Amino acid sequence: MTAPDLGARPVHDDALAAFRRIHWSYADRDPAALGELRHRIADTGRRRQLIRYSDLVHGVTFRLPNVGSGDPFQIDIGDWRDIDRDLLGDFLGFLSFETYERHGFMASALVVSKADDNPSDGFWNLMKLLGLVKNPRSDKATFFWLDQVQRAHDWYAAHPEADV
């Protein structure tokens, strides 16, 4: 019996092509915040856990030229605004693009809602856009998400010094 190839490339070329067509509005404009979120997700994966959206962004300072005149800000986790959800979704999508392209898994699968410990509609909308899930309320979608969580846990555990 051989160990799984944790560095395997993605098998869904159509999904990767769809990822490459996405215009990122925020994530590629704040390398420091992106790096912090990347590190927090990787640390969560190494511990084989999930992290809630509010815990992921708590204390992270964003500096985006296209939000609030570029002034630094933090997301008020007690009062999420639409812009907060949009920008976090953009960052998580971008991070999933990185890990999917390089290692074949969605990093954002490790980030869940505190209400039900499941991914948000944003995660499922991205998976539908990529053609990986048709109905997020199906058993097939749940198995897909659990598989992504397992892949992320396995990869991060096998690469203790890497964030991507």
pLDDT (tens place) for every residue of the chain, 164 residues total: 433 444 444 457 899 999 999 999 999 999 999 999 999 999 999 999 999 999 999 999 999 999 999 999 999 999 999 999 999 999 999 999 999 999 999 999 999 999 999 999 999 999 999 999 999 999 999 999 999 999 999 999 999 999 88
pLDDT value for 9: 46
pLDDT value for 6: 45
pLDDT value for 164: 86
pLDDT value for 13: 87
pLDDT value for 8: 47
Quickly count: other Cβ atoms within 10 Å of residue 18's Cβ.
16
Long-range Cβ contact pairs of 76-81 (< 8 A, separation 24 or more): none
Q: What is the 3-state secondary structure (H, E, C) of the chain?
A: CCCCCCCCCCCCHHHHHHHHHCCCCCHHHCHHHHHHHHHHHHHHHHCCCCEEHHHHHCCCCECCCCCHHHCCECCCCCCCCHHHHHHHHHHHHHHHHHHHHHHCCCHHHHEECCCCCCCCHHHHHHHHHCCCCCCCCCHHHHHHHHHHHHHHHHHHHHCCCCCC
